[in-house]
Structure 1
Amino acid sequence: MMRHEFKKYDKYKDSGVEWIGKVPFNWISGRIKDFADINVSTRIPTNLTNDDLVEFVPMTNVNNNIGRIEKFNFVPLKAVSSGYTKFKNRDVIFAKITPCMENGNCVIVNGLSHDIGFGSTEFMVFRSFRKLTEEYLHYFLHNDLFRQNAEPFMKGTAGQKRISSQYMTTHYLALPPISEQKTITNYLDTKTTQIDKKIYLLTKKVDQYSELKQSLINETVTHGLDKTVAMKDSGVEWIGKIPEHWEKKRVKDLFVESKIKSVTGQETLLSVSEYSGVTQKKDNVGNDELLTNAITLVGYKICKAGELIINIMLAWKRGLGVSSFDGIVSPSYAVYSPNKSICSAYFHYLFRSNRAIVEFKRNSTGIIESRLRLYSDNFYSIDVVIPEYKEQKAIANYLDTKTAQIDRIVETINTEIEKLKELRKTLINDVVTGKIKVITEGE
């Protein structure tokens, strides 16, 4: 196996490009169009008929990890022969729209059965022709400095900004000799593959812990903490067997909708997440982001700690939770006050369990999934099961402790994943900008 090591270049020079700065002395600078064609025309092979299947690449099929098309979709040629981006094997396709551009949706195309493929019109196509390898261009387009320099020139509305072909053709880059490009890309191929493998394995661990957490919640909120207690049929299809001393109730017997509205709009703004339940909105936005686009928060719904908040459009996707805060929520959310006989923390876990989410979806109204709504009448009609108050509280306390332990483990793993992603970025940035030199063993 070839081994690589780093050292500084012996001599640097000014690249003449402000954002690039100094580059190794033997590197050359130029515009992308000096080294590659962009959006070059690609002819459809004459031996293909309209009914022949060809590869099609939606934006979502380009993994934002380094250089990978997750899969090809196969469609009849007549469906994509006009109005779509065309490319060949070895072309570099690059997403020009946010957020895909920032995420690095860029790949070298390989494996096209007819040497022609089709994709979203949001792809740009680059074809190297001199002094630039496809592999090096591919890594350059993943370079953070390039993306940060390009972002101010993107045009369009927030979330739908695009970088223009004109900007890309005239954008400058610094290039090492071809032999050095190959050394660099071989090194980056090896290192990014190793890093990606570690990220994949750690991500699988996160998934496993997430499944463990949900399994623990599902089991505990329906079977309780005492595994020796006698069980009975609950009479509720979505729950199944329960401890024989538990009761069946309808939601309407336990919660009442609160429709109190804010007069001042000055209360703490809350949000509902499928991942974390109810949180304070200020904890989920960056320093340069607005809490809300609303002109005023007057008329938002008042919520008290212990009340249940449901985003009626996302109940089927776990968009609900019991609040730990006093505050206000969107007028389109539903707020429910629990009666004094129940521990709302228990219902936070029950209503966010996998079984409950399936039941919420079944009781939601709408033609397509993205338009489902869980209105109060349908929510009230759902049957649930509950132990006595003391046991509800014990279950909630137990799950607080256990889920917090799992969350801490997941947070540690996610921190390691972010470190690996940052390492990958740093390696690419430093090598393709000439900050460090990659040499093979024996040089």
Structure 2
Amino acid sequence: MTFTTYPAYKDSGVEWLGKTPEHWKVVPAKRGISVLTDFTANGSFAALAENVEYQSSGYARLIRMTDLRQNLETDGIWIDESAYKYLEKSSLVGGELLMASVGSVGLIYLMPEVDYPASLAPNMYLLKTNSSLLSKFLYWSLLSEGGQSQIFQVATTTAQPKLNKDNVRSIVIALPEVQEQIQIARFLDHETARIDALIEEQQRLIELLKEKRQAVISHAVTKGLDPTVPMKDSGVEWLGEVPAHWIISQLKFNTTEMQTGPFGSQLHAEDYVDGGIPLINPAHMVDGRIIPDFQVSVDEETWSRLSRHALKAGEIIFARRGELGRCAVVSKDQEGWLCGTGSLKASLNSRLSSEYAYLLVTSKGVVSELSLESKGSTMENLNTETLGRVRLPLPPLSEQEAILEHVHEIAGQFAALMNEAEDGIKLITERRSALISAAVTGKIDVRGWQPPASSQAVEPAVAEAV
């Protein structure tokens, strides 16, 4: 889609803004808004939030900063009613603008002209616009590249950027007449929705590719690569038939050692140092990789005391709590790191490849079996005995290696397709951002734009101004 420019421009006097349409004004936000902070009398939010009388009496809902911590590439927030606490009474109206002191911004999506009792949490602002400024236009202006850049330039630098009311008022916006603001807001509502739909399609494609990849891998490691080979009943419900020459064996019969990490008095929080030898807990196992946190580590003296928990290359480390089946293969450069309190490690014998075991343990079938084995307890109680009872289909080692080679090839093909989709999302997102910035700074002229005939219904930006 191509757009025309305005017939005449003038220098805005603002370096980042450049030239603006001749009839537009360039003004600080304070010309068009008033900035309100929280409505509570004393700010004692924690005490009120836990007060049952307040929670049940129908008082105001608390709007918190977390409600605005959205991806700034998406438009706005939907206030989550489950996040509300009942506090002292005030009112928010659909279409008004909320802003967090860290710079996030979102519209209140409620029925127009309906007041909702609410209270703002600390570090939250309600931006009320006057008749010269459409709140939806201000919203898009603040989400534009220039708007976001200004927010972080004027923010007070502390532990994290923080805006006060004067910072908000000083933000510069390019301002056309109200009817033109309405048209620009309508245009951006429509076009960003269309772009978001494309992004959603790409995200769905990525999820489908992940599911397909997992299905292909699971089939390979449980059925083999030769569809003509004789099959037999495995005796395991989730597994069904397997090649006749494969064996079904519990994990414990294919390990030389299974050991949980240190617990109880063996390791305390005060033993942790920054930049020492990492401890590997469930949070450090991400998509089959070990990603350490060097703030969760120990010094040489503690390591020496806990050396029996040291990891060896080729071992598998499992999560004892959290996600069933979460595990990772220990690489050579991770040798010597420690199995953490929330983990257990297993050394495999020569009949089972570590990578093959990883693929089996992370398959849906084994996760289901782990779930059955853990029934009546919680994942926190998964131990070496429970894990050791899990039944696995084992082909000869040479066949395991052939299957792994096939899986790596398939995984690479799927990875290429997913990377292509990710690149598509990135390009579409960049276009979205550029379109918003171009529209709210007058670099494109959308005054003659009309939505397709199929979407002529009154849109939010129009409804707000009627």
What band does the TM-score fall into relative to the shorter chain?
0.7 to 0.9
Deviates more, 1:84-93 or 1:382-391: 84-93
How many Å apart are 1:23 and its aligned residue?
5.0
Determine the structure 2 residue equivalent to 1:343.
353
Higher helix share: 2
Determine the structure 1 residue equivalent to 2:244.
244
Matched letter for residue 13 of structure 2: D
Can you list the C-alpha shifts for 1:203-261, whole angstroms capped at 9, x where unaligned?
A: 11111111101211222222222333444443334434433332222222223247999
Can you list the C-alpha shifts for 1:117-151, whole angstroms capped at 9, x where unaligned?
A: 65873754322213211221111221234334434
8 Å CA contact retained: 2:29, 2:168: yes
Determine the structure 2 residue equivalent to 1:35.
32
Aligned ranges 1:27-426 → 2 under 5 Å: 27-39=24-36, 64=71, 66-67=74-75, 69=77, 73=81, 80-82=85-87, 86-96=91-101, 106-111=106-111, 114-116=114-116, 118=118, 121=121, 124-151=125-152, 153=155, 163-165=163-165, 167-255=167-255, 256-257=257-258, 276-278=287-289, 292-294=294-296, 298=300, 299=303, 302-316=310-324, 319-328=326-335, 329=337, 331-332=339-340, 333-363=343-373, 372=380, 374-426=382-434
8 Å CA contact retained: 1:224, 1:395: yes
Matched letter for residue 6 of structure 1: T
Determine the structure 1 residue equivalent to 2:438.
430
In structure 2, what is the Cα distance between the partners aligned to 1:145 and 1:297? Answer: 47
Percent identity at matched positions? 21
In structure 1, what is the Cα distance between the partners aligned to 2:390 and 2:165? Answer: 55
How many Å apart are 1:95 and its aligned residue?
4.6
8 Å CA contact retained: 1:313, 1:374: yes
How many Å apart are 1:10 and its aligned residue?
1.9
Can you list the C-alpha shifts for 1:69-120, whole angstroms capped at 9, x where unaligned?
A: 5686489xxx8542588521121234555xxx5xx66235243694326587
Can you list the C-alpha shifts for 1:269-299, whole angstroms capped at 9, x where unaligned?
A: 9997766311566xxxxxxxxx633575643
8 Å CA contact retained: 2:278, 2:296: no
8 Å CA contact retained: 1:3, 1:440: no
Q: Structure 2: any 5+ residue segments left out of the alignment? A: 41-55, 263-274, 450-466
8 Å CA contact retained: 1:350, 1:356: yes
In structure 2, what is the Cα distance between the partners aligned to 1:424 and 1:330? Answer: 46
8 Å CA contact retained: 1:222, 1:239: yes
Matched letter for residue 358 of structure 2: H
Matched letter for residue 190 of structure 2: T
SS of 2:187's partner is: helix
SS of 1:11's partner is: strand
Determine the structure 1 residue equivalent to 2:4.
5
Sort the Cα spacing of 1:367 and 1:21 in 2 relative to 1 into closer, same or farther, 3 A.
farther
Sort the Cα spacing of 1:226 and 1:141 in 2 relative to 1 into closer, same or farther, 3 A.
same
Can you list the C-alpha shifts for 1:178-223, whole angstroms capped at 9, x where unaligned?
A: 2332343233223212211211111111111111012112222222
Deviates more, 1:133-142 or 1:241-250: 241-250
Cα RMSD (Å): 4.4
Sort the Cα spacing of 1:320 and 1:86 in 2 relative to 1 into closer, same or farther, 3 A.
farther
SS of 1:227's partner is: coil
8 Å CA contact retained: 1:108, 1:134: no
Determine the structure 2 residue equivalent to 1:46.
none
Determine the structure 2 residue equivalent to 1:284.
none
Matched letter for residue 355 of structure 2: A
Determine the structure 2 residue equivalent to 1:47.
none
Sort the Cα spacing of 1:348 and 1:426 in 2 relative to 1 into closer, same or farther, 3 A.
same
8 Å CA contact retained: 1:66, 1:107: no
Matched letter for residue 206 of structure 2: V
Matched letter for residue 292 of structure 1: F
In structure 2, what is the Cα distance between the partners aligned to 1:254 and 1:319? Answer: 19
How many Å apart are 1:400 and its aligned residue?
1.2
8 Å CA contact retained: 1:306, 1:337: yes
In structure 2, what is the Cα distance between the partners aligned to 1:247 and 1:68? Answer: 55
SS of 2:393's partner is: strand
SS of 1:242's partner is: strand
Can you list the C-alpha shifts for 1:372-397, whole angstroms capped at 9, x where unaligned?
A: 46433432232222122122222222
Matched letter for residue 195 of structure 1: I
How many Å apart are 1:53 and its aligned residue?
12
In structure 2, what is the Cα distance between the partners aligned to 1:91 and 1:252? Answer: 61
Deviates more, 1:144-153 or 1:383-392: 144-153
Matched letter for residue 97 of structure 2: V
How many Å apart are 1:345 and its aligned residue?
1.8
Sort the Cα spacing of 1:123 and 1:384 in 2 relative to 1 into closer, same or farther, 3 A.
farther
8 Å CA contact retained: 1:346, 1:392: yes
In structure 2, what is the Cα distance between the partners aligned to 1:320 and 1:219? Answer: 20
Matched letter for residue 327 of structure 1: Q
In structure 1, what is the Cα distance between the partners aligned to 2:346 and 2:356? Answer: 15
Sort the Cα spacing of 1:8 and 1:268 in 2 relative to 1 into closer, same or farther, 3 A.
farther
Superposition TM-score, scaled by structure 1 size? 0.74
Matched letter for residue 82 of structure 1: L
